[in-house]
Structure 1
Amino acid sequence: MFVFELVGNEANPVYSKLAVENLDRQYSFLQSIVEASLGLGQPMLSIEVIRALNYHAISCLHVSPGEFRPCPVQVGAGEGAYHPPQHFQVPALMQMFTNDVNRHWDSMDGVQLATFVLWKLNYIHPFVNGNGRTARTAAYFVLCLKSGGWLPGQKVMPERIRENRDEYVAALKEVDASLSTGLNIGPLHALLSRLLDEQLSEVEGIEAG
C-alpha cells in the first residue's frame, strides 16, 4: 500500500496523519542510531544510514522507500524548476558524497559538516520522495555525532528548518548558484547556526526557569 497513489495529494488527512507518525518513528530511529554509532566508536555517515532514514520517512506513503530513484525527477515547476543529476549517476554520487563527508570529519566543525550534508543530499536528490526529510535528519545525525550525543530540545533543528522553508529554499538556491564560481555554503550555514542557537537557547531557558 502506498498512500499517495491512493489519495493523490499530501494534504489528504490520511496521508498527513501517517506522515506525522512516520516522522516520529524516523526521529526515534535517528536517536537510536546516534547512540549506537557513538557507542561503537564509529561516528561516520554511511549510505545505509541515509537509506534507512528515507525508509522511515516515506514507508507506505510513496513507492521505493529507502531505495535510490530509478528515474529522472524534477523539483518545482516552470523556469525555476530544479533538475537533479540523472538517476543512473546517483549510486556513484552518493558514494563520493559519503566519502567526502567522512574524509572531512575531523577538519570541519559540526555545523559546517551538517550544512554540507544538508545541501549535497538536496542537490543529488537520491530518492523518489522524502529527500528533504531525509536530508534534514541526516544533517542532524552528523551534527549530533560531532557534538558527542543527542542534542536536547523539544523542537529540534530539522523541524525548525522546515518551519523556515522559504529562507531554507532560498539558501539552498544561493549555494547551488555558487557552484560556477566555487562552492559557498555560507548562506545555509548561517541559517543552521541561527536555528541551532535558538534550539539550545530554549533548552537553557527551560533549565534556568
Structure 2
Amino acid sequence: MSDRKSEAEIPTLISDPTELAEKEAANALEQFDWAIEETERWLAEGKPTLRVSMLLTLHRKALDGIDRHAGNFRPAAVTIRGSKHNPVSGDDVARYVEEMLDYVIENWDEQTAIHLSSYIMWRLNWIHPFADGNGLHVEDAILHGVVRSSWTNFARHEDDSGTNLGKQAALL
C-alpha cells in the first residue's frame, strides 16, 4: 500500500481585490464599534473584564468572510517569514493568551496604560495566536480599550497641585 493522503486546497473566500478591501474596511468598522461598546461597558463597571472570548471576537469581527479561521486560534505551528522568532506551538496558544490577559487584569491598577498596551502588543506578537490577522487590527482594538479605560481612570484624579487632569487626558 502506498503512502497516499488527500490534501484539499483551501479556497479563498474573496478573490477580487476591490471586494476584499471593501470587506476589510466594513469589518474594521464593525470591530471598532464592538471595541467601543466593550470599552464603555468596562468604564461603567470600573474595571475591564478581559476574556479569551473577547480576543476571539475581535479576530472574528476583523476577518469574518475573509478567512475561514476567523475567531479561532491557530491549531498548529506558524512561521514568520523574515523573522528569527518562532512563536509558541499551536497547543500552547490558549494558555499563553490566558496568561497575558491575567497579567493585564492583575496589573490594571498598578501599571500605566502605556505599560499595559506595550505588554499586550509585545505578547500578542510573541504568541502569534492566529493563522492570519495577527496584525494591528486586533492589537489596535485591544490597545484602544486599555488606553481609553486607563486614561479615563487617570483623568478622574488630580495632581498634587489640585489641577484636574481630565482636560489633559481628553487631549489624548
TM-score (norm 2): 0.76
* Residues 1:144 and 2:151 are matched in the alignment: no
Question: Which residue of 55, 69, 77 corresponds with 2:74?
Answer: 69
For the pair shown, which has the larger CA radius of gyration, 1 or 2?
A: 2
Q: When the two structures are aligned, how many residues end up with a matched partner?
A: 146
Is the partner of 2:12 in helix, strand or coil? helix
Partner of 2:163: none
Report the Cα distance in structure 2 between the residues aligned to 1:6 and 1:57, rounded to whole angstroms.
Answer: 14
Matches within 5 A, 1:7-22: 7=14, 12-22=17-27
Per-residue CA deviations over 1:22-46 (Å, capped at 9, x if unaligned) read: 0011111111110112213332432
Per-residue CA deviations over 1:45-97 (Å, capped at 9, x if unaligned) read: 321211111111101101221111112112224xx354311100111111111
* Residues 1:108 and 2:111 are matched in the alignment: yes
* Residues 1:134 and 2:138 are matched in the alignment: yes
Is the partner of 1:123 in helix, strand or coil? helix
- Is the 2:13–2:67 contact (alpha carbons within 8 Å) kept by the matching residues of 1? no
- Is the 1:57–1:134 contact (alpha carbons within 8 Å) kept by the matching residues of 2? yes
Is the partner of 2:108 in helix, strand or coil? coil
- Is the 2:13–2:68 contact (alpha carbons within 8 Å) kept by the matching residues of 1? no
Structure 2 portions without partners, runs of 5+: 1-10, 154-167
Report the Cα distance in structure 2 between the residues aligned to 1:22 and 1:111, rounded to whole angstroms.
Answer: 27
Partner of 2:33: 28
Report the alpha carbon displacement of residue 127 of structure 1 after superposing the two structures with TM.
1.3
Report the alpha carbon displacement of residue 113 of structure 1 after superposing the two structures with TM.
0.7
Structure richer in helix, relative to its length: 1
* Residues 1:5 and 2:25 are matched in the alignment: no
Report the Cα distance in structure 2 between the residues aligned to 1:24 and 1:128, rounded to whole angstroms.
Answer: 22
